[in-house]
Structure 1
Amino acid sequence: MSETDTPASGDTNQTKNGFLALVSRLVFEEQLPVRFMYKTVPEHLNDTGWRLFTGYEDDSFLEDEITNLLPVALEKLYALDDSLEEKLAYNAGTVWERVPGADWERIYDFRIPTRSVDVSITNDPDRFDPKA
């Protein structure tokens, strides 16, 4: 690991919650290595926020999260690839990538996808709809 890959103060000291990551089914069905991963804000108490991919997923694959991303315990991932344990200790907002034959490299220019939530806010009691 190079100096630039060494965790800076605050990179790994976030409160740890959850024990599951969402992992591309290609990791298990095709036995492909994890080559790209990012950590988003966890969606529930069991979620770590980590999303792991092989790099062979296309847009249509990624759109069907229910079918193509599997919830996997971190311990199973560590057993699959021991280089993941150190990287999965990082905080939300972290992105890692590795090309075949190379070490993990931290990526800073990838925009982590976020779920969009349609919210309507009003202070006008005449427009307020409690059923919405």
Structure 2
Amino acid sequence: MKTPDIDTPTSKENETNQTKNGFLALVSKMTFDEKLPIRFMFKTVPEHLNDTGWRMYTGYESEEYLENELANMVPVPVEKMCRIDSSLTDLVTYNAGTVWERTPESDGWQRVYDFKIPAANVDVGITNDIDRFNTEFKIDD
């Protein structure tokens, strides 16, 4: 029996078998403000119980636009996004780590394997020095 290579895509069954939680996706406001279709999306690890992990973009967002997530991304039920664009319905069943895109010339979606999904940037200080820890965090008995 031949073992699949690491780069070989796995079956859809293996890629859609995560426990599904949440119901919201973060969607670029350009989708609604400028009536643009979703052309790029990925699924990250959900950030809270209502989050599916899906992030959906038009493909026209600038770096500056993307940096201001609070102002430019809106939580939207995935079900609503699938009603707006039925081509999303099968794609939103995939697991975290999945990336999809479609070009303006194409109606079909293509799987993307070379995009690095951004991770939340958490600034945490770590120390093994008990005195420093107690001083910085004012731990009292």
With structure 2 as the length reference, what TM-score do the two structures score? 0.85
Structure of larger gyration radius: 2
| Secondary structure in structure 1 of the residue aligned to 2:130 | coil
Q: Secondary structure in 2 aligned to 1:50? A: strand
TM-score, structure 1 as length reference: 0.90
- 1:61 is aligned to 2:92: no
Give the superposition deviation at 1:124. 2.1
Q: Which has the higher contact order (CA 8 A, sep 6+)?
A: 1
Change (3 A) 1:121 1:6: closer
Q: 1:20 to 1:7 in 2, by over 3 A?
A: farther
Task: Verify the 8 A CA contact 1:96 1:104 in the aligned structure 2.
Answer: yes
**Equivalents in 2 of 1:81, 1:6: separation in Å?**
26
The sequence identity of aligned pairs, in percent, is: 60
Shift of 1:75: 1.2
Corresponding residue to 1:95 among 94, 99, 102: 99
**2:19 partner letter:** T
Superposition misfits of 4+ residues, deviation over 4 angstroms: 4-7
Question: Which residue of 19, 32, 49 corresponds with 2:23?
Answer: 19
Cα distance change on mapping 1:87 and 1:131 into 2, 3 Å: farther
Provide Cα deviations, 1:1-36, integer angstroms capped at 9, x if missing partner: xxx998434200001010000000111111111000
Count of residue pairs brought into register by the alignment:
129
Could you give the per-residue CA deviations for residues 78-128 of structure 1, whole angstroms, max 9, x where no partner exists? 110001010011111110000124210000000111111111222221121
Is residue 116 of structure 1 aligned with residue 121 of structure 2?
A: yes
Greater helix fraction, Structure 1 or Structure 2: 2
Equivalence for 1:52? 56
